[in-house]
Every structure is written in structure tokens, then in C-alpha cells.
Structure 1
Amino acid sequence: MTMRTGKGNSYWSVVSSVRFSGWAKLQLGDYYILTGKIWDASLAYSQVDKAFREDQLGEEARFRNAKLAYYRSDFEWAQGQLSVLKASTSELIANDAMYLSVLITENIPPDSVMTPLQRFAYADLLLFQNKDKEAEALLDSIAQAFPKHPLNDDILMLRSRLAVKHRDYKLALDYLRQVYEACKNCGKDDLLRDDALFRTADIYHHFLEQPVLAKQYYEQLILDFPGSTFVQTARQKLAELDNPEPVIP
């Protein structure tokens, strides 16, 4: 019995080591993106995808490669990957894949003029690379050159991420409010509206530490968008707020 337990421990130790190696390679891929080595990043993600094909780690690698293709404006290839990842068992991966897929689908025009989406994708890449001022300038150029483009709501979402990054939570909340109202008034699908509600709740919950307002927005999300992919997470967050962990003195 002791011997079997020992072998089991050895087995799980190897599994843990292999998975750690996979996660480390994903982080290496991210580092390559930060340093502008796009093809090296793609290779690193592809290696993890191949090594963990039937594992959530492989799905994460595929999503990062799809996001990388989106950054490079290879929207068709990205969509091919995202169409599968939308059914991921990981709620986070499925949510991210759904958003990116809809973003691409809704902003590829019939005339095949990709300029706004290409600029937006590149601004997203610049944000990932912590080149915030360049990203903001590029977002400004899209809004000025294409004032009525459908991407404008997504630009506001990206600006809200920038504001959170710089701890300007009031500005972030204002951007999210604009997204919610704009999508509500234009009859656009609910994808950005539920996202805006969730991000609003998250800011009140984790950054401003205002649980009453956080609960209000989590509950609104659950009631108004029962089919949202954010509902399960919102319920978990509500449970956290209703049963906070005791503070140990």
C-alpha cells in the first residue's frame, strides 16, 4: 500500500511539473509579445497547444494564438479557432472567445475595408504591450476618422480597461455607462451591455470596495440577462458578498 501511494505521489508530481512547464511556456509566449517577437510567441503557444491538446491548458494556448492572429489582422484564421473555443468548458475562455468572435464578425464590412478593425486590433496589442499612450492615440484616430463606426462602443470598452489600469475608476465607470446606454438605445445585441454591467460590478466590488453597489449591478446582470455567460460568475460573486470571509485579527 505504501509503495502504491509513493508511486501515485511520484505520478502526480510529474503531472504537476509538466503542467507547470506548460503554463511557463504560455507566460514565455506573452513575454515574446511584449518584446515584439510575434512569431516566437505563436510558436510557444502552438507547442503548448500540441502538448495539452485535450486539456484546458491547450484551450488557453489556442485562445492566445487566436488573439495573436487577431492582433496581426488575420481575422479569418482567428475566427476559425474562436468558433471552437466558444464551446470551451472554461467559462473564462468561452466568454473571451465569444466577445472576440462577435467583435470580428460585426466589424468586417461588406466592402472589405478593414482599416478600423485593423487599427483597433493593433491598439489592443499596444495596450497589451503597455504602450498606453500609443494605444489611446490610435483609438482617437479611429473615432475621428470613423465617427459612426460600430467599433465606437468597443473603443469605449477598451478605454474603460485603460482607465482601470491607471486607477481612474470614475472615468472607467463613465465609459461603461456610455457603453450600456449606447447599446441599449441602438438596439445592438446584449453582449456588450452585460459585459459593461459585469465590469461595473467588478469595479465596485474589487477596486472601490462598495459591496452594496456591486451587488446591485451583479443582480441587475442576472435579472436582465439570464442567458449571459457572465451569470454564473455573477452568482459566485454575490455569494462572496453575502458570505464574506471573516477578518482574522
Structure 2
Amino acid sequence: MRIFFAFIFFFGIHLGYTQNIQIARNYYEQSKFEKALASYETIYSRTPSNSQAVIGLAKCYRQLNRSNDAISLLNKNHQNNPKQLIYLVELAVTHNLNSQAEKTEATFNKIITLLQDNPRSGSYIGNALQQYNLLKPAIACYKIAMEQNANFVYDLEIGRMYGELGDFGNMFSSYLDYIIKKPNYIGLIKRRMDEFISEDPENETNIIFKKTLLKKNQIEPDILYNELLSWLFVQQKQFRKAFLQEKAIYKKTDDGIPQLINLAFTTRKAKAYEISKEILNFVIDNTEIESFKVNAHRELMQIRTETSSPINYAGINKKYLDLIELYGNGRYNMGILLDYARFVGFKQDKKTEAISFLKKLLKRNLPNIQKAKTEILLADILVLNDKFNQALVHYTKAEKRVKGDPLAQEARFKIAKASYYKGDFDWAKTQLNVLKSSTTQLIANDAMQLALAIEDNTKEDDSLSIVALKLYAKGELYTFQEQTQKAIDSYQQIIDKHKGNEIEDEALFKQANLFLSLNDTEKAAANFEKIIQFFPTSLLIDDTYFILANLYVSLEKTAEAKNLYEKIIFNHADSIYYVDARKKYRKLRGDDIVN
């Protein structure tokens, strides 16, 4: 029983000290330094060995311009407890604030010397110095910890601090060291480095990064360095050099085909079609894995379609039929079959033939996921043919086949879109409200945007708003049906006859992007400029700034582009375009480095 009461007694004392420390800390955080000082002094008088009280007192002394008291307190307590290196950190901070450079340096050196005997404290002391932005000694402390114990990996923190110091060579070197130790984090490191790398191969940091990679690879070759060189060349749009790196990886590992296909996707997206075709043909010639061959053929067919005029469609049709004959009974044939149906329905405008082809596919004994994809494409082509009710039936079947799969959410979104296209806004909104919480972020965002557009234009019994919304829906339908001029005309009716309507800015934006697809940059720019002038609070304003700024760059209107990038940087820090806008702005400004 005595032991129990003794435990309760000492526990109560400890709890009291903890509460007192928290009270003192709260005073300090509220800038009530006199009250914080009094609280810490009370704690210190009772428990002089309490490190939190010592540090709290030192901080209060500094805030109250009593630096000598802080120095005296810290020296005394370090002498009494030499293993508490945190006292030396606070002492260095105090000397540094007093501009006592020699004493600051001497204290840092003392910390480093003592850490050699106690390297476990390296990360703790390094972090403490980092909090005070004393980055060079912090780096030294982290390095001591790593030298003494191979299990300690602080290259990420060290790299970030080198970046803050503007030492980009050591920053990249530290990040590369981290990747070698933790290769699964290569995506994270690419995102970190992306802030410093630009599209310009002559940019100083690009050159530093390339040199660092090559030097590391010479000293201790590793495939990861080839992968990062490829990534760098992609950022610089030097796709042929990236292809060479990916081929080197393939030859060294015999396992680089997926990365080559991904590079082909990237080059196709950038409209670098010739190099994309070279990569895909290399894949076809150098793999026996059927899925890779099929994917490469499919991508080649997409490129042929994108780069050909309708006069060449008969030749593309024949090539599809040859591929179907070659792979028609294989495991991976469905992708080619669906691509062919899409080509026939959308590009050749043979909707009846495409519908018949897909209905025959549905009679096969297919897995549910493949049947659902077929149902969705069939429904898409029915929408292409303005047969909305039949399309809704097939979208619904697809959703039921794969409940719980992201494909089911795609089908539900298409149900909402088809209802929206035909003017059934209430039912569309019901479907969209369910999709707002979709696990697929892209669908959730698209659903939210469309639901808002419907809600804004149907919240009141305003026939004009509903007419405008129907025109807007018609414009989106025509865009889906690849009837670009009809879509432009539909949006123009909103702009001409429904000025001031909630949806006018969106009509201008959609129409501008259609003008861009036709390379009519003058009309596109005029639309974007109207959004900025008349709809400065539009939800599309940051999109408008960014697209128009890029357009101005292509038109060599540098001053106008810089102005728009600035607006994103200073007024839209939460925009998805923020990082790219900052990089592009600094390039236009002529900065040597990107930080």
C-alpha cells in the first residue's frame, strides 16, 4: 500500500511539472515573455536539472534582451551535464543572434567534436539546428550520425537543406544517395528535383544535375542513374536521348520494355510522333511477350490515326483487320478489337457498323470487366448517334457488371453525361451527387464541376438560364461527337444571346479550347482575354491565366505572359498550375537557376 501511495505521489508531482511546463510554453507562444520567464524560473528553482526549463529560460532571456543571462545559464548547465548537447545548440543560437561569429563557430565545433563520441544524438541535434535555420552545422550533425550508423538515412533532409543554401550540386548528390539506399522512393525524389529542373538544357541547375548523375554513374554505375538521365532528357524534351538511355537499361537488364512503352506514351502526348514510332517498333522487334507487342501495335495505330487525314482511313482500317487476324484469338485481343470499333464509329463515321461489331463481341464468353468496357464503348457510339435512351441501357448494364470497380463509377458518370446531353438535368444531378465522393479523384472532380454548372443554372425557375444550359450541353455533346464547328456555334449562341449568364465564362473557355484545337490562336486568345476582363472571379480564372500565358509565350508576347504567370504565383498559390507557372515565369525573367 505504501508503494502504491508513493507511486501516486510521484506521479502527481510529474503531472504537475508537465502542466507547469505547458503553461510556460503557452505564455511563450503567446509572446507573453515575462509571464513565461516567471513560470520557467519557478520550475527551474524546483528542478534545476529539467532541460525543458533550462531551454525555456534561455529563450525567454533572449526575447527580453538578456542574452548574457542566457549564455551564463547555458554554460553553467552544460558544465553540470556535458551530455546535454542541446544546451550548446541554444548557446550557439544566442551567440549567433548577438553577431558573435567566433564564439558561434567555436560552439559549433564543440558540438561536432562531442558528437563523434555520441553519434546517436546527431539527428536530434541536427534537427534542432535546422529549426533555427543553422543549416551548415545541421548538415554536419546529420552526416556524423550516418557515418557512425549505416541504418541512419538522412540524405533527404540533407538534400533539402543544401537546396535552401543554393548548393545544388550537393543537393542533387544527396538526393541521389537517398535513391540508391531507397530506390522505391524515386518518384518522391523526382518530384523534389522537378522544382529545380526546367525545359531548357542550358539551364544551370539542369547542367549541374546532369554532371552529378554522370559523375556518380562513373564512380559506381547503377541503372537508377540511367533512369534519371532518361527522366532529365524527357523534361528537356530531348526524347531521342531519353530513348537511348531506356535502350541502355533494356540491354543491361532485359527488363525495360514497360518503361519504353511509357516513353512512347509520353512522346506521343508531346506530338513527337517520329521518335514515338521508333520506340514502338523497337519494342515490337525486341520482345516476345504478346501483351507488350499488342500494346505497342495499339499505340502505333493511335499515332497513325492522329497523323492521318480521312483519305488514309481505308489503309488504317486494313491494318486493324490484319492485327485482329494476327492476335484475334489471343489473351490480349480485346484492346485491339475495341480500338477498331472506336475507329470505325468515331473516325470513319460508320456508327451502324461499329454498333453491330460491338454487339457481336458482347455475345462472346467474356470476363465481366471486358464486357463492361464493351458495353461502355457501345453506349458511347449510341450517344454519338443521338440514341441516348439506348446508351443509358448499356451504361447501366456496364455499371451493374463491375460494381465496386472504378469502371462502374466511369459508367455512372457517363449515365449522368448522357442524361445531361438530352436535357434531363434533374436525373443527371442525382447521379452526379453520388459521384462527388467517388474514389476516383478525376471522376469526383468532373462530377462536382458538372453538378455545379447544372445547379447554378437551374436553381431558380429561370427559363433563359435553362435555355443557356441546354445550349452548353449541346456544345459538349458536339465536342464529344467530334463536330467541332457545331460545338463552337452552340457556345457562340450563349455568348451572343445570354450575356451575363452564370455559364457564359465556361462557354467562352470551352470555345477557346476548341479554337486552339483548330490552331486559331487569335480567336482563342480573344476569348481568354474576355474571361479575364469580365469574369475575374471565375473558377476557371487560373486555368485561363495559365493557358493564355503559354499561348502568349508561343506568340512571343513575353511581357504579357510574365504578367499572367505572376497572377498565378501571387494570387493562386493553391492552383495546380502554381509550380509550372513559377518555373515558366523565372525562365522568362532570365533566372540562371530555379529555386
State the SS of the aligned residue for 1:167: coil
Aligned to 1:196: 544
Query: C-alpha deviations, 1:149-185, integer Å up to 9, x for none?
Result: 222101111202311332334543443343344332x
Contact kept, 8 Å, 1:218 with 1:235, in 2: the verdict is: no
Query: C-alpha deviations, 1:39-85, integer Å up to 9, x for none?
Result: 22111211111112211101111111101111111111111111121
Asked if 1:50 is matched to 2:400, the reply is yes
1:153 to 505, 512, 517: 505
Map 1:133-148 onto structure 2 (within 5 A): 133-148=485-500
Asked if 1:126 is matched to 2:478, the reply is yes
Asked if 1:165 is matched to 2:517, the reply is yes
Which structure has the greater CA radius of gyration? 2
1:95 to 433, 441, 445: 445
TM-superposed deviation, 1:19: 2.7
Name the structure, 1 or 2, with higher relative contact order (CA <8 Å, separation 6+).
Answer: 1
- Provide the rounded CA distance (Å) in 2 between the counterparts of 1:74 and 1:142: 19
TM-superposed deviation, 1:100: 0.6
Aligned to 1:4: none
Q: Percent identity?
A: 29
State the SS of the aligned residue for 1:53: coil
Aligned to 1:69: 419
Contact kept, 8 Å, 1:69 with 1:77, in 2: the verdict is: yes
Relative to 1, partners in 2 of residues 1:234 and 1:92: Cα closer, same or farther, differing over 3 Å?
farther
Letter in 2 for 1:96: D
Relative to 1, partners in 2 of residues 1:18 and 1:80: Cα closer, same or farther, differing over 3 Å?
same
State the SS of the aligned residue for 1:101: helix
- Provide the rounded CA distance (Å) in 2 between the counterparts of 1:47 and 1:55: 14
State the SS of the aligned residue for 2:505: helix
- Provide the rounded CA distance (Å) in 1 between the counterparts of 2:548 and 2:368: 37
Letter in 2 for 1:142: I
- Provide the rounded CA distance (Å) in 2 between the counterparts of 1:220 and 1:63: 34
- Provide the rounded CA distance (Å) in 2 between the counterparts of 1:18 and 1:218: 47
Aligned to 1:41: 391
TM-superposed deviation, 1:130: 2.2
Aligned to 1:246: none
Aligned to 2:434: 84
- Provide the rounded CA distance (Å) in 2 between the counterparts of 1:202 and 1:64: 31
Query: C-alpha deviations, 1:190-237, integer Å up to 9, x for none?
Result: x322443565588799xx6x9x999x9899758744556xx3x97699
State the SS of the aligned residue for 1:60: helix
State the SS of the aligned residue for 1:29: helix
Aligned residues: 215
Relative to 1, partners in 2 of residues 1:81 and 1:236: Cα closer, same or farther, differing over 3 Å?
farther
Contact kept, 8 Å, 1:139 with 1:155, in 2: the verdict is: yes
Contact kept, 8 Å, 1:198 with 1:234, in 2: the verdict is: no
Letter in 2 for 1:78: A
- Provide the rounded CA distance (Å) in 2 between the counterparts of 1:86 and 1:196: 24
TM-superposed deviation, 1:140: 2.4
Letter in 2 for 1:140: Q
Gaps of 5+ in 1: 1-11, 240-249
Aligned to 1:242: none
Asked if 1:178 is matched to 2:533, the reply is no
TM-superposed deviation, 1:133: 2.6
Query: C-alpha deviations, 1:105-126, integer Å up to 9, x for none?
Result: 1112523412111122122212
TM normalised by structure 2 equals 0.32
TM normalised by structure 1 equals 0.69
Aligned to 2:455: 105
Contact kept, 8 Å, 2:429 with 2:451, in 1: the verdict is: yes
Contact kept, 8 Å, 1:86 with 1:94, in 2: the verdict is: yes
**Range moving further from structure 2, 128-137 or 60-69:** 128-137
- State the 4+ residue runs in structure 1 displaced beyond 6 angstroms: 201-205, 216-220, 233-239
- Provide the rounded CA distance (Å) in 1 between the counterparts of 2:368 and 2:567: 42
**Range moving further from structure 2, 148-157 or 126-135:** 126-135
**Range moving further from structure 2, 170-179 or 76-85:** 170-179
RMSD: 3.7
**Range moving further from structure 2, 161-170 or 79-88:** 161-170
Letter in 1 for 2:530: Q
Aligned to 1:32: 382
